[in-house]
């Protein structure tokens, strides 16, 4: 494996011994390199995610439906393919391949694992494979923090936050909120696993948060005591059914997509990241559409809010449901690639592409 210390493809081709010139070298970027490239850059990544949403809103992207690989013998597990292409200054194609195996948690390893493949815009050749569970968690957290910012601009910023489901995604969301200027007087924690709740509370204490940390025994206690509610569970179907719990009109980041019963969705102002994507795969908005036969309950997208096409009222619960767009993974992945390349630590697999002469 060769370490590339210069830049673009032709010099890298020659360094890696690839022929003919024009075929990009193929690099592998580890999770440690990904984390180093992203650590402490919450503001930059949130700005990148905002720019990507805006680019997607103008149509300068291709983001087809996600593809779910499911297993009859393992009904709770799945692997999802998210192909995408993004234009603008990023100009990259690719795909995230991410698995969700909830049983991993009991074995002491993370539920999700992922890789991201980046393809050259001009030749279609893949030029990098990146560890992507960190990229996926980062873009999810940046999207959540961005939505929290934009959806609270016309009213007082929430001072009481509640985390419902406290695994890795919740940790990343808290990191992004703290890293982009949020602070809270009270932080609520609720999880079906007492060990997870204790572990997350310990993380909050170690991170130096100034807010009072409370572990709530019930979902109702958490929701009623929070102005900002963050769902980051592994729920496969709605389990929160009581509309009165939301009578104080909180801002809800419905990251896990399947927690809220349709009646709560229908009684709320609903913002999504992409309408067509969110109305699939039995998400709570999808179930609401099936119940009503229409999508009138959707107020618009986050891009609609950012561009001023949509304003959000303050007299109902406000729910943001992001399906998670592959273009966000591409944008963050390309950022990581550029950072690693610029550091001179890009690890290229020598002669990864072979037999490149058409007639031998």
The pLDDT, as a whole number, for residue 11 is 38
Based on its alpha-carbon atoms, the radius of gyration of the chain, rounded to whole angstroms, reads 21
DSSP 109-129: S-SEEEEEEEEETTT--EEEE
* pTM for the full predicted model: 0.91
Beta bridge partners of 190: 164
The encoded tokens of residue 238 equal 């709605």
pLDDT at 357: 86
**CATH number reported for the structural domain that contains residue 182 in this entry:** 3.40.50.720
Whether residue 31 sits in one domain with residue 157: no
Mean pLDDT in each 10-residue stretch from start to end of the chain (360 residues)? 56 40 91 98 98 96 95 95 96 97 90 96 96 97 98 94 96 97 97 95 92 97 98 95 98 98 98 96 97 98 97 95 96 98 96 88
What pLDDT score does 4 carry? 65
Same domain, 128 and 50: yes
Please state, in angstroms and rounded to a whole number, the distance separating the CA atoms of residues 225 and 216. Answer: 10
Quote the number of domains for the chain.
Answer: 2
Are 50 and 147 part of one and the same domain? no
Q: Which two tokens stand for residue 139?
A: 């873009």
> 272 and 226, same structural domain?
yes
Residues 284, 336, single domain; the answer is: no
pLDDT at site 5: 54
- The domain of 115 spans 2-136+326-349
pLDDT of residue 166: 96
Say what the pLDDT of residue 231 is: 98
Q: Do 255 and 213 sit in the same domain of this protein? A: yes
Please tell me whether residues 106 and 190 are part of one structural domain. no
Continuous segment of H or E residues that includes residue 14: helix 9-16
């Amino acid at each position: 494996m060769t370490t590339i210390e210069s830049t673009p493809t032709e010099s890298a081709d020659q360094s890696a011994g690839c022929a003919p010139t024009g075929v990009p070298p193929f690099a592998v970027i580890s999770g440690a390199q990904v984390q180093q490239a992203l650590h402490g850059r919450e503001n930059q990544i949130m700005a990148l995610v905002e720019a990507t949403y805006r680019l997607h809103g103008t149509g300068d992207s291709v983001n087809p439906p996600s593809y779910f690989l499911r297993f009859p013998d393992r009904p709770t597990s799945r692997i999802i393919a998210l192909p995408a292409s993004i234009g603008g200054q990023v100009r990259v194609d690719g795909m995230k391949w991410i698995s969700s195996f909830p049983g991993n948690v009991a074995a002491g390893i993370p539920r999700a694992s992922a890789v991201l493949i980046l393809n050259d815009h001009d030749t279609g050749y893949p030029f990098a494979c990146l560890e992507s569970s960190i990229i996926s968690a980062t873009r999810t957290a940046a999207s959540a923090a961005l939505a929290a910012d934009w959806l609270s601009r016309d009213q007082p910023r929430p001072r009481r936050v509640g985390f419902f489901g406290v695994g890795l995604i919740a940790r990343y969301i808290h990191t992004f909120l703290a890293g982009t200027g949020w602070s809270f007087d009270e932080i609520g924690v609720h999880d079906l696993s007492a060990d997870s709740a204790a572990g997350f509370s310990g993380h909050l204490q170690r991170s130096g948060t100034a807010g009072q940390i409370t572990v709530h025994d019930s979902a109702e206690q958490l929701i009623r005591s929070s102005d900002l509610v963050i769902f980051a569970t592994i729920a496969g179907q709605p389990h929160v059914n009581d509309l009165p719990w939301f009578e104080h009109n909180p801002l809800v980041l419905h990251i896990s997509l399947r927690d809220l019963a349709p009646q709560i969705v229908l009684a709320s102002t609903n913002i999504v990241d992409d309408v067509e994507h969110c109305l699939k795969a039995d998400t709570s908005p999808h179930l609401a559409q099936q119940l009503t036969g229409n999508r009138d309950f959707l107020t618009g997208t986050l891009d609609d809010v950012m561009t001023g096409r949509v304003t959000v009222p303050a007299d109902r619960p406000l729910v943001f449901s992001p399906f998670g767009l592959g273009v966000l993974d591409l944008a963050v992945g390309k950022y990581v690639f550029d950072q690693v390349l610029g550091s001179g630590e890009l690890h290229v697999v020598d002669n990864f592409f072979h037999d490149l002469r058409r007639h031998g």
